[in-house]
Structure 1
Amino acid sequence: EKAQKASAGRVMRLSARRWAAILLELCLDLGVPQKLEQWCRAAREESQPALFREHRQVWRLVGGLLDQLVETLGEAELTLEELSAVMDAGFEATDLALIPPVLDAVTVGSLDRSRPSRDVQVLFVPGLTEGVLPARIKTTGVFTDREREALSHRLAQRNRELPPGTVDRLQQEQFLVYRVLTRTGGRLILSHPLGDSEGRAVTPSPVVRRVKELLPGLKPQFLPAEPSGEDIMEHPSGLLPQLALRWRDAARGEPVPPVWWRVYNLFLEREEWREKLALVRAGLMERNVEPPLGRELGRRLWGVQRGQRHFLKTTVYRLERFVQCPFAHFLAHGLGLEERLIFTVAPPDTGQLYHEVLRRFVEQVQKEGPHWEALGDGDIYRICAELVEQLAPALQNQILLSSARLRRQKERLLEQVSHSARALARQIKNSRFRPAALEVSFGTRENLSPRDMAAGQEALPFWTELCLPPLELVLDGETVLHLVGRIDRVDLGRGEQCLYLRVIDYKSGASSLDLAGVLAGAQLQLLVYLWAALEHFAALCRHRQRILPAGAFYFQVQRPLLKLEQPGFLPEELEREWLKEFRLSGWLIDHGPELYSLSDQGLKPGTSSLLVPVRLTGNGSPYRQATGPLYTPAEFRAILDGLRELLCRAGRDILDGRVDIAPLKTASGSGCQFCAYRPVCRFDLWLPENRYRSLQVDKRELRRRLEDAGREGGKGLVLYNLD
């Protein structure tokens, strides 16, 4: 009624200030303070101190919430529904400070909210790992620290304040550490796990290391992850999960102590625990496995039928994902499950911006000049600055970025790409390879009839736009695999009798190519890109010249920080160290001295290349290592044969409907490491049916097998297997 009168018959939209006044008047009219006071007296008389403290805080919290409503929204008009939503959110974020009402109590609290007194006899702090205490500060706000500081001064004049910034939060974390270590008058117990759920080692918090330094006489006590003996015989709610673990041990054939059979009978006798016991038994009986969908459903889900044949069109990334975990592939590309979008103020996707700047940079130099030999550092910086300005709208789409923040984003982008473009230009200038095509698509669009941009008969070709047919593999008489993708850059170098071809993939982080990872299917992209380019480029070049594979490489986009052991480096020495940071990583196919000089014109016997991963001995032959990046043409052919077999196997498994919960685990990580679908698959190493497909292979033995396969035709190299 008060709101209707205040709105004077119009649609009920009142200012937040007016709503707060109406709510306060309503509470007073209803006698809310008096009622709460009665409840407080009743709780005190009934010896319920916790309830007494709860009732005592409610009125103060309601008043504080109304004050915040006025301060934050003020004269902003709200409907009744909008007001209800705001108040609900405020009440949900409100916590009651309930201190222990008696002396012999256990209090569970957070470091930033709880205020333990010095009367606390034992303070237990669990989970002290790196990034927890002190917490790892994430800068996700709209304002920079400098903008926040300026705004805080202005708000302070109006008795307002902002939440703490990065520096303040770092100082608060140090204060929390101090408070934890000094608040108890009795025992202080610091605990941290030795490993995570996947068995990987976990680094303890710096607090633990510092305490060990200050008190060298302390001896850490190691406790098992699962308690044993009578330590767990405390309460039925704690016994039930332990009973489930004993049942799990029994299923593995391990002996179960007689006391647990008595515990089981005790649960059966009590009616209130029978239902929970039945749930535990049902969970133990169920196996966490996913049977195949079947060939018919697999072909309908992922294949396209044309006549009597089924075609599977997929990207190399999707095949890698299937190899990493078939069930994750099914959830992502079969059911189409996606993570819930969380709208935050985030920087733009810098990886795409780096790719686009480098693509335009190479294309402009190839088409308009100056030539790579005449390209100076000033020219490189000027071109990069112009390209960054052209791409500035992609940064400006972040509408919440201030002009200063936008300017800093552009500066960082220019800093990264100008360093990378300068290194890229050095690599091209100091080699006899030249870019032949950029952003080469295969199988993603209609094939284009390319226009060769070469200036003369002897010049190497260059295509500004190129779309090749898909890489086609016949799986059997009824099914065909079409692989599609996009290659960042294809280079060509002219030898005496042939052309050499290499592919380069731009990466914003350090990347390497591992033979075991390739043959297991975890690293397919770079080799498939080289294979696709070799399939089609011979037909594109003049006179259908013979093309040999030169290599497949990653180029890291970065602004490197040089780690120099001693001062006094000359400028040319600094240049060498800087260029070494940009050395291409990947594989070089060893076609002999001609390819060495094409890849690096400055490479001499007894030296290492600054451009490609090759080192020559004094007589000019390359160093060979068991895990090295140099492969003979016969070994490369064997790898491609193994890759063909692997792709066919994986393609057949997809069309057969394989959706196994079987993540791959390699030396660099597992398929579960960054997977968003773990709550769906419930992969659990405690379950006997849930196991990693571990890639454990001796690299020297694998290289020996590769050498044998190079002589015998690539048999027995594939490490991929779902069974």
Structure 2
Amino acid sequence: SLLEEVVHVAGNDPLDVDQFLSIFEDGLSALTYSTIPPSLDHVTVTGMDRGYAMEAKVVFVPGALEGEFPKRIEEGGFFTELEKQQIYKNSQLLFGNWLMDMVHQEQFYAYLALTRGSDGLYLSYPALTSDGQETSPSYLVSQLAHLGYFSEKKEVHNASLQGADRSFFSNPKQALSLLPSVIRDTLPPAHSPWTALASWAWTEPTEKPQLLKKLASLDYTNEAVMLPKDLAAQLFKPGGRFFSSVTKLENYRNCPYQYYLQYGLGLSERDDGKLNVMDMGNYLHAGLHQFGSALKRHAKDWKDATDEDITQISDTIASHLAPKIKFGILSSDGASRYTERNLKNTFRQTLTDLRSWSQRSHFHTDALEKEFLLHISDGNTDSFTLKGKIDRIDRCGEAAAIFDYKTGRTRASLQEIVSGLKLQLLTYLLALSENNDHPGLLPAALMYIYLSGDVKSTASVPPGGEPAISKKDMTSGFLLQDTTVLKDLDSALGEDDSYLSVRLKKDGGLYSNTSLLTEEDFQFLLTIVKKKLLSLYTEMSQGQIPIRPVRYKGASPCTYCPYHPICRFDPNLAGEGYEYIHMPSDSELKKQLKELAEKEDS
């Protein structure tokens, strides 16, 4: 067929030897085979889209990860799926395959890959990525295991001096690439196969350059040098003064280098136009603010809102907000419209829950999206300003409850506050405490309110009924250890349907709880947070930007960080690693706060 193509291209024109060879070599280089000619003993490496018609005794499927096997098909290209459907409906023009057709085709390829082996099937996947992050196996792996198709599961560990696995040496060149990671911490003994591998490569003229190149990586370091103070000032204090938010300082605490790349250099990913968690959060935040403002215009509090108010006002707000999210992406296709319905239902459910809580509370809404400026000084010549918005403040006399709306499951923890990872709620309280508009403020509650709409508990479902909403799952935070104040905040305090995770004793007292704090505890925490904010600002203004992400309870900012190609952080490299947060438990921290209070009294 290749010679026929040459004849077709050349026609009747005479070709000399050089011209013929040039055309023939180009043809050979571009030649591909759907099926490789078989031999007695061979291994065929192919993709699912080409090898689906093949059959073999044993089939190996490497890289069986979620989103890779089968391949996750996502909408892309210039036209959206909805636009392609409209064009086809009006003009019968077809721009490529339909999205669902490609999804079904990919699933069919996966099915064929799993059924081509007559004697055996092996699925494998890496447990970690190259930068140490955990991976998720394909859903097909768990389904096959549930159906009982797996006869054995093996976990293969990385090459090491102590490992007994010799399969790494089946390919000497591959083993040579593993040598630096194996001998990074200590040299192998004389009888080690890794010593034999290095000796062999040293004596082989073709392998010695590769050996030297591999060993040179042992001296590699990945460090970010400290910025000069004048450069740090230009990057982080463009107007001569640091004017930022507590969220950004939290980001600096989690990873200084990520902060430098994002806010110092202003690097960001290209907006792909897809809906993300931040868009959903903005939708719900804006909706709650507009609903509260609408109630104020009608001289109503949350507790006065009727079911008709919630339905009509929420529908009006949703119809205005949806077109503004990513240029109307919520109406672009079926999946996005489904997301819009979920957001709308979550919005309405949240309004109903907040109305229900307000009806049993003596607190009233004092402010929505309250803006603040917090000035902090080092006591000498340097100072900085934090700005922000408090989602909601409720008041009852001198007592104030501060609420922050969250779409994620952020749990309030004393450990995270003292370590500087979560400073938002206490910074809000600090800003109000130092504001002359709120003298003698009594902190009743600092709480996150979750806007998930999925807080249903199936622990006790009545026959033929719906799961009951677990109101305690809506909130997380810190409460004043005062029964009277907490009953003003929620008259159902101590009951199963209370919004506060607090239990009452028979005598009416409060059971010990890490979320319960005295007024003195709040004051000590404010002092700690103020010092932590100043410390973070000082480190940043000095130009300290180490590649040092925090790891706390298995989580790190690296999981969703887009800057890894720049920082190249590798926890396996010598001199690199996470900053592990080791803190006393919340109960121990409460004891320490109590001891500080007793010392202060004495």
TM-score class, shorter: 0.7 to 0.9
Change in CA separation of 1:484 and 1:174 when aligned onto 2, cut-off 3 Å: same
Corresponding position of 1:282: 216
Q: What residue identity is the alignment partner of 2:49? A: D
Superposed CA offset, 1:517-546 (max 9, x none): 11111111122112112221xx226xxx52
Change in CA separation of 1:52 and 1:143 when aligned onto 2, cut-off 3 Å: closer
Q: What residue identity is the alignment partner of 1:660? A: P
Higher relative contact order (CA 8 A, sep 6+): 2
Cα distance in 2, alignment partners of residues 254 and 712 from structure 1: 56
Change in CA separation of 1:330 and 1:409 when aligned onto 2, cut-off 3 Å: closer
Change in CA separation of 1:484 and 1:162 when aligned onto 2, cut-off 3 Å: same
1:557 aligns with 2:448: no
Native 8 Å contact 1:380 1:421 kept in 2 = yes
| SS of alignment partner, residue 662 of structure 1 | coil
Change in CA separation of 1:372 and 1:673 when aligned onto 2, cut-off 3 Å: closer
1:585 aligns with 2:476: yes
Matched residue pairs, number? 588
Cα distance in 2, alignment partners of residues 564 and 235 from structure 1: 54
1:595 aligns with 2:485: yes
Corresponding position of 2:401: 502
Shift in Å, 1:323: 0.8
Native 8 Å contact 2:405 2:451 kept in 1 = yes
1:517 aligns with 2:447: no
Shift in Å, 1:316: 0.9
TM-score by length of 2: 0.84
Native 8 Å contact 2:393 2:401 kept in 1 = yes
Cα distance in 2, alignment partners of residues 409 and 694 from structure 1: 37
Corresponding position of 1:87: none
1:377 aligns with 2:377: no
Native 8 Å contact 2:302 2:354 kept in 1 = no
Corresponding position of 1:616: 504
Shift in Å, 1:149: 8.2
Q: What residue identity is the alignment partner of 2:97? A: P
**Structure 2 unmatched ranges of 5 or more:** none
Corresponding position of 1:62: none
Cα distance in 2, alignment partners of residues 217 and 614 from structure 1: 47
Corresponding position of 1:7: none
Native 8 Å contact 2:456 2:470 kept in 1 = no
Q: What residue identity is the alignment partner of 1:705? A: Q
Native 8 Å contact 1:127 1:192 kept in 2 = yes
Larger radius of gyration: 1
Change in CA separation of 1:383 and 1:568 when aligned onto 2, cut-off 3 Å: same
Change in CA separation of 1:675 and 1:202 when aligned onto 2, cut-off 3 Å: closer
Change in CA separation of 1:347 and 1:222 when aligned onto 2, cut-off 3 Å: closer
Change in CA separation of 1:709 and 1:296 when aligned onto 2, cut-off 3 Å: farther
Shift in Å, 1:312: 2.8
Native 8 Å contact 1:148 1:165 kept in 2 = no
Corresponding position of 2:10: 31
Change in CA separation of 1:33 and 1:287 when aligned onto 2, cut-off 3 Å: farther
1:710 aligns with 2:601: no
1:203-242 paired onto structure 2 within 5 Å: 204-212=137-145, 218-226=151-159, 231-235=167-171, 237-242=173-178
581-590 or 189-198, larger mean C-alpha shift: 189-198
Shift in Å, 1:294: 4.1
| SS of alignment partner, residue 391 of structure 1 | helix
1:106 aligns with 2:106: no
Percent of pairs identical after alignment?
A: 26
Native 8 Å contact 1:111 1:176 kept in 2 = yes
Superposed CA offset, 1:267-314 (max 9, x none): 4455554554443333211222223224444344324687xxxx4322
Cα distance in 1, alignment partners of residues 169 and 485 from structure 2: 72
Cα distance in 1, alignment partners of residues 97 and 361 from structure 2: 55
Corresponding position of 1:664: 550
Q: What residue identity is the alignment partner of 1:180? A: A
1:440-455 paired onto structure 2 within 5 Å: 440-442=370-372
**Structure 1 unmatched ranges of 5 or more:** 1-25, 56-95, 443-469, 715-723
Superposed CA offset, 1:64-116 (max 9, x none): xxxxxxxxxxxxxxxxxxxxxxxxxxxxxxxx444323424333222233235
Cα distance in 2, alignment partners of residues 329 and 471 from structure 1: 21
Corresponding position of 2:226: 292
TM-score by length of 1: 0.71
1:689 aligns with 2:583: no
Corresponding position of 1:69: none
Native 8 Å contact 2:52 2:112 kept in 1 = no
Q: CA RMSD in A?
A: 4.1
Q: What residue identity is the alignment partner of 1:586? A: G
Change in CA separation of 1:139 and 1:343 when aligned onto 2, cut-off 3 Å: closer
Cα distance in 2, alignment partners of residues 367 and 377 from structure 1: 18
Cα distance in 1, alignment partners of residues 429 and 198 from structure 2: 62
Superposed CA offset, 1:561-610 (max 9, x none): 63445654799x97xx33716632211122x222112201233xx53562
Cα distance in 2, alignment partners of residues 657 and 342 from structure 1: 32
Q: What residue identity is the alignment partner of 2:385? A: H
| SS of alignment partner, residue 595 of structure 2 | helix
Change in CA separation of 1:246 and 1:509 when aligned onto 2, cut-off 3 Å: closer
Cα distance in 1, alignment partners of residues 275 and 512 from structure 2: 49
